């Protein structure tokens, strides 16, 4: 990459503002549930659902005791609600049984929970506990490849590449900014290259694949 990483991040901030997660949450459990619900669903819709959900369910036991059919109905607008309800129950059960009722603070450990995985573990622990984390979602996969930050396709290999070239204290900020960039400018089908401040450093654009 022919640009310093701090300058790279500054340009992303100029386009998207300060790094941020667009899911609404107030604690690690809420972020865990919101992350599950966000699969194949917009953050905006998830936030509409969780505005009421997080008033009804405040503890692990609330999720464990409720009939799964009721939980399914409560999260139905997020789509794939049966799978998501099952995942939520499995996750909160493991949090209670394996981790004494607290979302663990170690990414590698939390990633072993069925229904979480490494991407979600990085996101939840990185944001809830302010632990440096590289969050590799579909946006980060696409944008980091287009910008030449990695040549890998596997999320774990991409995570390793980004860890290698980015200072630890910038891991989370870069991840959030890449997600915002992929969501609002460097879109999958029609990237809005005219609005991008990184075209001079973008391999995708240099190859003539971007929009003029």
Is 28:58 a contact under the CB 8 Å cutoff? no
For CA atoms 147, 186, 152, 10, give the dihedral sign. positive
What does the alpha-carbon distance between residue 141 and residue 182 come to, in Å, rounded to a whole number?
A: 9
Give one word for 41, left, alpha or beta, with left for phi > 0 and alpha for psi -120 to 50. beta
Total number of residues shown for the chain: 212
Catalytic-labelled residue, pool 137, 157, 173, 206 = 137
Note if 137 is an active site residue: yes
Catalytic-labelled residue, pool 6, 55, 97, 119 = 119
What does the alpha-carbon distance between residue 48 and residue 35 come to, in Å, rounded to a whole number?
A: 14
Note if 130 is an active site residue: no
Report, as residue numbers or ranges, the catalytic residues: 119, 137
């Amino acid at each position: 990459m022919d640009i310093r990483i701090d300058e790279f991040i500054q340009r992303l901030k100029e386009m998207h503002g300060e790094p941020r997660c667009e899911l609404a949450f107030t604690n690690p459990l809420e972020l865990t549930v919101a992350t599950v619900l966000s699969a194949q669903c917009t953050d905006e819709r998830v936030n509409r659902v969780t505005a009421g959900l997080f008033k009804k369910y405040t503890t692990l036991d609330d999720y464990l005791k409720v009939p799964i059919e009721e939980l399914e109905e409560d999260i139905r607008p997020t789509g794939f609600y049966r799978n998501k309800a099952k995942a939520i129950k499995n996750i909160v059960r493991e949090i209670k049984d394996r981790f004494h009722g607290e979302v663990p603070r170690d990414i590698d450990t939390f990633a072993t929970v069925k229904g979480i995985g490494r991407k979600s573990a990085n996101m939840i622990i990185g944001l809830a506990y302010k632990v440096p984390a590289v969050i590799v979602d579909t946006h980060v996969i696409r944008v980091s490849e287009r910008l030449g930050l990695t040549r890998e396709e596997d999320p774990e290999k991409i995570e390793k590449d980004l860890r290698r070239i980015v200072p630890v204290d910038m891991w989370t900020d870069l991840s959030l900014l890449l997600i915002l960039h992929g969501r609002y400018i460097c879109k999958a089908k029609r990237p809005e290259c005219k609005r991008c401040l990184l075209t001079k450093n973008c391999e995708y654009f240099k190859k003539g694949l971007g929009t003029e």
